[in-house]
């Protein structure tokens, strides 16, 4: 095993290893911290009720009807489950690797958009925990026995049809079940769409990338609501967080990294140079 690892690492540059460490460390920190947040189920429940009340006041609380409609349509529910589960991290990882090796000049900004928006979202998760719709029936039994019927009617399609639950032993350490607001499933798919266009703009692939960039976030909106994983306002918040990460990523790339690189090149320590 050590020989295999040595052969693999010998083909990687220091830059490759550093990049892998940055990304892996950032994502592990993100999930580790999110999973380590002390559960506040009652607070998360009432915050979710506030989201529902806000949407009802604005006239677009449709998630209960959408979820009920798809609950007995197993094929469609499974399609939405797979969109939610597989058209997110797997495709982000594939895109990241492809951009790193083939569009290195545009990789850093794309990477930082994800990392910055994730950092913003992590703070919000801590300050304002929100239970997803699929958790509301069980939480209503504990904290709000007189909850209206639409609160207790949500159906967890992923648990029922995909056989995946967020409260299993294998995922519990890395999952905060009350991190519905903002929805990074939508926010990061929005960033992914923007990044795909940015990475391929000016190449012969740009018009091939356009429908992908548009379709991914749209599909994710339907996925997160039909499967009872998020509210529409969660998606709005996810989009705001995603967009907020863009100017920060651009600033880091154009101002901070050139300055930091100059400081490192001028260092008296050979390893830093």
**Which tens digit of pLDDT belongs to each residue from 127-142?**
899 999 999 999 999 9
> Rounded to whole angstroms, how far apart are CA atoms 27 and 23?
6
**Average model confidence (pLDDT) across the chain:** 87
> Rounded to whole angstroms, how far apart are CA atoms 92 and 115?
12
> Rounded to whole angstroms, how far apart are CA atoms 113 and 32?
20
Residue 264: pLDDT above 90? no
**Which tens digit of pLDDT belongs to each residue from 169-192?**
445 555 678 889 999 999 999 999
CA distances from 146 to 25, 143, 152, 261, 268 (A): 44, 9, 10, 60, 69
Output the pLDDT for position 203: 87
Indicate the pTM of the whole model. Answer: 0.88
SS3 179: strand
> Rounded to whole angstroms, how far apart are CA atoms 2 and 108?
31
8 Å CB contact between 227 and 81: yes
Each as own residue / partner, the long-range contacts of residues 103-107 (CB below 8 Å, 24 or more positions apart, any chain) are 103/199, 103/200, 106/198, 106/199, 107/199
Q: Please choose, from the candidates 92, 69, 95, the residue with its C-alpha nearest in 3D space to the C-alpha of residue 80.
A: 69
């Amino acid at each position: 095993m050590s020989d295999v690892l040595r052969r693999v690492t010998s083909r990687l540059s220091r830059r490759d290893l550093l990049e892998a460490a940055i990304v892996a460390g950032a994502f592990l920190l993100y999930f580790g911290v999110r999973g380590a947040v002390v559960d506040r189920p009652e607070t998360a429940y009432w915050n979710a009720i506030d989201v529902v009340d806000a949407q009802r006041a604005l006239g677009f609380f449709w998630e209960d009807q959408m979820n009920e409609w798809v609950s007995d349509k197993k094929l469609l529910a499974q399609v939405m489950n797979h969109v939610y589960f597989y058209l997110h991290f797997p495709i982000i990882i594939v895109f990241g690797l492809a951009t790193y090796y083939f569009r290195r000049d545009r990789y850093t900004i794309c990477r930082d958009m994800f990392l910055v928006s994730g950092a913003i979202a992590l703070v919000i998760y801590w300050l304002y925990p929100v239970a997803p719709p699929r958790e509301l029936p069980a939480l209503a039994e504990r904290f709000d026995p007189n909850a209206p019927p639409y609160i207790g009617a949500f159906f967890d399609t992923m648990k029922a049809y995909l056989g995946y639950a967020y409260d299993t032993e294998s995922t519990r350490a890395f999952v905060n079940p009350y991190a519905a607001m903002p929805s990074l499933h939508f926010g990061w798919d929005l960033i992914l769409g923007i990044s795909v266009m940015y990475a391929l703009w000016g190449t012969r692939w740009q018009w091939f990338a356009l429908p992908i960039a548009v379709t991914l976030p749209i599909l994710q909106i339907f996925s997160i609501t039909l499967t009872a994983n998020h509210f529409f306002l969660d998606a709005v918040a996810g989009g705001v967080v995603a967009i907020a990460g863009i100017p920060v990523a651009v600033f880091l790339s154009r101002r901070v990294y050139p300055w930091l690189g100059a400081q490192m090149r001028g260092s008296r320590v050979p390893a830093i140079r």
